[in-house]
């Protein structure tokens, strides 16, 4: 920090713009995104592993399917989310999810804050008339 960065009252004149960002943990995913990706992958692995465990008559297939699904989900999901988020604001992913839920599941929208989003599509008018 240089002398130009410190104000006369001793406070800092600027804050780094990355100060409040969540740190990247694995493959471009933040901690919250990693938990979501891991949770969805494990549910898919459980859904695939239980029928396989029943068909093969061994319980060990279910946890193995969950672990494999999480590994593939984090690897594939991390790459896909990194490409989706590239060049967009930090909150883009969360707003996109809110918007999709608000459009497709309107009853769930108030629980995630989606009711506050503008979901109207069409032409907007200012309702101004031309002067005579």
Per residue in 62-108, pLDDT tens?
A: 999 999 999 999 999 888 888 888 888 877 888 888 888 888 888 88
Domain ranges within the chain, ordered by starting residue: 3-89, 91-127
Residue-wise pLDDT tens digits, 8-25: 777 776 666 666 667 777
Check residues 131 and 52 and name the one with the higher pLDDT: 52
Task: Say what the pLDDT of residue 36 is.
Answer: 86
Q: What are the CA-CA distances from residue 21 to residues 16, 17, 90 (Å)?
A: 10, 8, 7
User: How would DSSP label each residue in the chain?
Assistant: --GGGB-TTS-BS---TTTTSPPEEETTEEHHHHHHHHHHHHHHHHHHHHHHHHHHT-TTHHHHHHHHHHHHHHHHHHHHHHHHHTTS-TTHHHHHHHHHHHHH-TTTHHHHTGGGS----S----------
Task: Say what the pLDDT of residue 4 is.
Answer: 67
Check residues 44 and 126 and name the one with the higher pLDDT: 44
**Is residue 115 over pLDDT 70?**
yes
Q: Cβ–Cβ contacts within 10 Å for residue 1, how many?
A: 8
Task: Say what the pLDDT of residue 129 is.
Answer: 67
Task: Say what the pLDDT of residue 52 is.
Answer: 93
Task: Say what the pLDDT of residue 47 is.
Answer: 96
Check residues 112 and 21 and name the one with the higher pLDDT: 112
Residue-wise pLDDT tens digits, 25-44: 788 788 888 888 899 999 99
In this prediction, residues 111-117 reach a mean pLDDT of 78
Q: In the structure encoding, which two tokens stand for residue 55, read together? A: 């068909």
């Amino acid at each position: 920090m240089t002398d130009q960065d410190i104000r006369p009252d001793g406070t800092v004149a600027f804050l780094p713009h990355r100060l409040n960002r969540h740190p990247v943990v694995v493959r471009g995913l933040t901690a919250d995104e990693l938990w979501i990706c891991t949770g969805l992958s494990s549910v898919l692995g459980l859904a695939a592993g239980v029928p396989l465990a029943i068909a093969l008559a061994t319980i060990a297939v279910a946890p193995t399917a969950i672990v494999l699904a999480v590994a593939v989900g984090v690897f594939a999901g991390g790459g896909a989310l990194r490409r989706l988020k590239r060049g967009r604001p930090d909150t883009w992913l969360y707003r996109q999810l809110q918007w999709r839920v608000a459009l497709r599941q309107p009853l769930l929208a108030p629980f995630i804050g989606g009711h506050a989003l503008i979901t109207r599509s069409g032409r907007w008018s200012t309702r101004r008339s031309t002067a005579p």
